[in-house]
Amino acid sequence: MTFNKNVGAAIAVYSFFIGILYAIFGILEILIGWGEFVGTGVPLIQSIELAGVNIVPPDVFGGIMLIIIGVVYLTGVGQQARVNREGLSFLLVGSLLAAIFFGVYMVIMLANSVGYVFQFEDWLEWVWLDDLRPGLWLFLLALPGAYLALTKKEWRE
* Minimum separation from the CB atom of position 84 to another protein (A): 11
Least distance CB 146 / another protein (angstroms): 13
The CA-CA-CA angle for residues 140, 144, 148, to 5°, reads: 150
The answer to the question of residue 73 lying near another protein (CB under 8 A) is no
Spatial distance between the Cα atoms of 155 and 148, rounded to a whole number of angstroms: 10
| 82 is an interface residue for another protein by CB under 8 A | no
61 makes contact with another protein (CB under 8 A): yes
Q: Which of 100, 129, 140, 143 binds another protein (CB under 8 A)?
A: 100
The count of chain residues that interact with another protein, using the rule CB under 8 A, is: 36
Amino acid identity of residue 128, one-letter, is: W
Should residue 130 be labelled a site residue for another protein when binding is judged by CB under 8 A? Answer: no
Q: Which stretch binds another protein (CB under 8 A): 10-18, 47-55, 63-71, 137-145?
A: 63-71
Contacts to another protein by CB under 8 A: 36-37, 39, 41, 61, 65, 68-69, 71-72, 75, 85-86, 88-90, 92-93, 96-97, 100-101, 104, 107-108, 110-112, 114-115, 118, 120, 122-123, 156-157
